[in-house]
């Protein structure tokens, strides 16, 4: 896409709410930076969106988007890495500029109201279009540059190896990595355009989400090398009634899977410790604090400091998938990454899985 057509696209997107004269002047002032793919900044965070009597800056939109997502001012301030009073003032100023409250305040709690829900849809669209425009400008400057946003449940060895080998091929492509435990949150970030890709185990049924299967994973019981079952290759659930279990926290998607499978088998584990991530469970099991259910592939088992046993009662296989939004613009950097991930698993992973319908 030519630069003139790209600028025309921006004018169309912001025709109703953007003051184009301000943006054009801002682009002129930052022309030198616009040639740098890492600092393509024709649209600065201080750039204003303007309507009849309304003056809103893009930073306010980003702050509002985060507060609306979390519906908690302190948590939003922590995620944005700013002081909570400053965030409160920013949101209050936005509401004053718009002339309506965006949240219902009940004591210390805030809930997005109907005005806020309507405005959030427009804010998400505006910020997504601006980010896609930034990516398109980077593509015009050269495909060896770029930015890819990815979510994953865990930063395990396979995932880190993919990133490391990819960056050696494309050293000027940057990443924003988000470690997200909940698969529903990953889908929401994908649908709002906040990330390019997600690595996910949950079956995806939403329309407009493209997906490719990467690797088959199974549930194993992890025990320490000193455990009484360490010399065995398999175990029955009925043998685990007296074991001390280490599990994931209840908001983790895999915890839901483990609980559901145990319930199906009429087995209630004795949980003595809960962790945020699977790697924490592995380390605690290795130290002898208990046993744990682990979702793993054969390739991941090789370097673990624990013994993995097949659970005879569990006839379950999960498929790790790479997913992305079909209609979302993907930069050349993102396309390079997608192709590389698919080829990586095709070349290196021995476990085959059926294509996902």
Query: What's the sign of the alpha-carbon dihedral 193, 195, 198, 202?
Result: negative
Q: Where are the domains of the chain?
A: 3-130, 141-214+322-348, 216-318
The H helix count followed by the E strand count for the chain is 13, 14
* C-alpha to C-alpha distance for 269 and 245, rounded to whole angstroms: 6
* C-alpha to C-alpha distance for 188 and 52, rounded to whole angstroms: 32
Paired with 218 in beta bridges are: 296, 317
Q: Provide the b/e sequence for 141-173 (b: ≥16 CB within 10 Å).
A: bebebbbbbbbbbbebebbeebbeebeeebeeb
Q: What is the pLDDT of residues 298-315, one digit of tens each?
A: 667 767 889 999 988 777
Closest CA to 346 of 214, 201, 156, 157: 214
Q: What is the pLDDT of residues 123-142, one digit of tens each?
A: 888 888 887 777 777 666 55
Closest CA to 164 of 301, 321, 324, 340: 340
Answer yes or no: are the C-beta atoms of 220 and 293 closer than 8 Å: yes
Phi, psi of 296 (to 5 degrees): -150, 155
pTM score of the predicted model: 0.62
Range 3-130 classified under CATH 1.10.10.10:
yes
pLDDT beyond 50 at 11:
no
Q: Does 3-130 match 141-214+322-348 in CATH topology?
A: no
pLDDT of 324 reads 95
* Residue labelled with tokens 């004018």: 11
User: How high is the mean pLDDT of the chain?
Assistant: 79
Closest CA to 149 of 192, 90, 206: 192
Task: Report the Cα–Cα distance between both ends of the chain, in Å, rounded.
Answer: 33
Answer yes or no: are the C-beta atoms of 211 and 321 closer than 8 Å: yes
* Residue labelled with tokens 């208990």: 290
Answer yes or no: are the C-beta atoms of 307 and 235 closer than 8 Å: no
Q: Cβ atoms within 10 A of the Cβ of 29, count? A: 12
pLDDT beyond 60 at 15:
no
Range 216-318 classified under CATH 3.30.565.10:
no
pLDDT of 31 reads 37
The pLDDT-based confidence of 6 (bands split at 50, 70, 90) is very low
* C-alpha to C-alpha distance for 201 and 192, rounded to whole angstroms: 20
Range 141-214+322-348 classified under CATH 3.30.70.890:
no
The pLDDT-based confidence of 192 (bands split at 50, 70, 90) is confident
């Amino acid at each position: 896409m030519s630069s003139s057509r790209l600028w025309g696209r921006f004018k169309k997107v912001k025709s109703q709410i953007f003051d184009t004269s301000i943006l054009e002047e801002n682009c002129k002032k930052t022309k030198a930076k616009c040639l740098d793919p890492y600092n393509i900044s024709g649209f600065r965070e201080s750039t204003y969106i303007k309507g009849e009597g309304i003056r809103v800056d893009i930073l306010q939109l980003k702050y509002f988007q985060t507060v609306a997502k979390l519906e908690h001012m302190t948590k939003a301030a922590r995620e944005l890495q700013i002081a909570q009073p400053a965030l409160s003032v920013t949101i209050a100023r936005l509401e004053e500029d718009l002339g309506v409250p965006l949240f219902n305040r009940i004591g210390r709690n805030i809930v997005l109201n109907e005005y806020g829900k309507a405005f959030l849809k427009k804010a998400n669209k505006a910020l997504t279009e601006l980010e896609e425009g930034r990516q398109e400008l980077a593509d015009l400057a050269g495909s060896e540059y770029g930015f890819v946003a990815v979510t994953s449940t865990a930063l395990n060895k396979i995932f880190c190896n993919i990133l490391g080998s990819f960056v050696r091929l494309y050293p000027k492509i940057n990443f924003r990595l988000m470690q997200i435990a909940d698969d529903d949150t990953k889908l929401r970030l994908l649908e709002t355009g906040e990330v390019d890709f997600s690595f996910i185990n949950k079956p995806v049924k939403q329309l407009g989400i493209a997906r490719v299967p990467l690797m088959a994973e199974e549930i194993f019981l992890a025990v320490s090398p000193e455990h009484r079952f360490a010399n065995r290759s398999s175990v029955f659930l009925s043998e685990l009634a007296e074991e001390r279990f280490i599990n994931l926290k209840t908001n983790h998607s895999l915890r839901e899977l483990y609980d559901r499978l145990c319930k199906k088998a009429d087995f209630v584990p004795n949980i003595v410790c809960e962790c945020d991530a699977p790697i924490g469970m592995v380390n605690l099991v290795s130290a002898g604090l208990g046993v744990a259910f682990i979702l793993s592939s054969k390739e991941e088992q090789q370097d673990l400091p624990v013994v993995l046993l097949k659970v005879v009662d569990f006839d379950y296989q999960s498929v790790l998938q790479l997913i992305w939004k079909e209609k979302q613009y993907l930069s050349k950097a993102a396309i390079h990454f997608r192709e590389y991930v698919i080829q990586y698993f095709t070349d290196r992973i021995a476990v085959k899985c059926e294509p996902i319908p």
